[in-house]
Amino acid sequence: MQNSLFDDDFEDTDEPAPAPAAAPVPRKRTAARQARVLPMPTDPALRALASELPPNLRLGTSSWSFPGWAGTVWEGEYEQSVLSKHGLAAYAQHPLFRAVSIDRSFYKPVTAIQFAAYAAQVPEDFRFTVKAPSLVADAMVRGEDGRGMQANPAFLDPALAATEFVQPALDGLGHKVGALVIQLSPLPGPMLARMPEVLERLGAMLRSLPALQPIAPDGVIAVEVRNPEFLTSAFCDVLRDAGATYCLGLHSKLPPIEAQLPLLRALWPAPLVCRWNLNRLHGAYGYEDAKALYEPFDRLLDIDLDTRATLARVIAGTIRAGQRAYVTVSNEAEGSAPLTVQALAEEIRRRLAELSPPDPDRSR
């Protein structure tokens, strides 16, 4: 499971480095031998691209501990465990990365101390997208294979959502909280048949959550779904009444991005929260297939120009209107999240240039 890819502590291991063999072979740096992760030297073209994007746009990736990003994000090769513990500081030096999604929190709640350790590794203007734990976001208790075994009695529990998710994030990340995302896992059929009850429970939980703004002025609560049955005006009403917004979820379990835009229009004006999770060509249950196909995530294999163009248009319109945008990309979107972020940034820059009024001096 993804939870196993991240360690809960932030200390170096105490194991001594093995003695070198007579004919040493280059090896990846491990936690025992290398605590610091070096970022790639700054690319002037990326720096220039980043300088042309407004400060209210925050682009990033879903997690960061991927050895295959060597040469793109990391200078050199590192073990995944090293990147998990020490890679975030190097990640945050990438010119385009002003946000990251902490996904491990879905599998196990993250403590305020762990959040604080993340916050200490990034600049002051960096922001985090954090997923709510499945403890409150999944209607089912699931086995190792992902199959639902029984109903989850803590689903949408207001007290647990506050104590196990929102408050630790605020206490640990402080003003670096960006988007706190409650991604509702697929609901079982009987629950889908009682959608009004689900929406009522969702609204009650959202309204009970601690306010973000006193500590995190840029923070926003967003709800992401996996069932298209949620995409209704009643769902919009629940979000609006609670002061939350919709997380644009680009995933094969949902309709394409164009079909989700009416929800954003109904909630406007509001910050944009988007998680580009999975290329649609892999189908609703194709995440593992995509992961196996795209590893080590060092190149783009399935470029989705339509989604990229539409998303760039939505982002450009949102940030030009003065609203914040938090957009994170998974490796499973096109094959390599850093390269998708770069391509998306270039498209956003182009869209912003089209929206800008003409410069009268340039016509003389």
Q: What is the 3-state secondary structure (H, E, C) of 139-172?
A: CEEECCCCCEEEECCCCCCHHHHHHHHHHHHHHH
Report helix angle 44-51 to 337-355, nearest 10: 50
The verdict on residue 34 lying in a domain is: no
The verdict on residue 39 lying in a domain is: no
Q: Sign of the CA dihedral 69, 75, 79, 82?
A: negative
The verdict on residue 37 lying in a domain is: no
Q: Considering its fold, how many domains does the chain have in total?
A: 1
The verdict on residue 3 lying in a domain is: no
pLDDT score of 160? 97
Which residue range(s) make up the domain with 333?
44-355
Tell me the C-alpha to C-alpha distance, in Å, between residue 245 and each of 263, 265, 267: 9, 11, 7
Query: Is 258's pLDDT higher than 60?
Result: yes
The verdict on residue 285 lying in a domain is: yes
**Three-point CA angle 332, 335, 341, nearest 5°:** 90
pLDDT score of 47? 97
The verdict on residue 177 lying in a domain is: yes
pLDDT score of 21? 40
| Top-confidence residue, 19 or 216 | 216
Query: Is 359's pLDDT higher than 70?
Result: no
The verdict on residue 17 lying in a domain is: no
Give CA–CA dist 218/180, Å, rounded.
Answer: 11
The count of other CB atoms within 10 Å of the CB of residue 159 is: 11
pLDDT score of 355? 86
Pick the closest to residue 257 from 312, 197, 178 (CA basis): 312
Question: For residue 62, what are the contacts with CB-CB under 8 A and spacing of at least 6?
Answer: 100, 101, 103, 275, 277, 328, 329, 330, 331, 337
The verdict on residue 361 lying in a domain is: no
Q: What is the pLDDT of residues 2-46, one digit of tens each?
A: 333 233 333 332 233 333 343 343 445 544 455 689 999 999 999
CATH, residue 210: 3.20.20.410
Query: Percent of the chain, pLDDT > 70?
Result: 88
pLDDT score of 143? 79
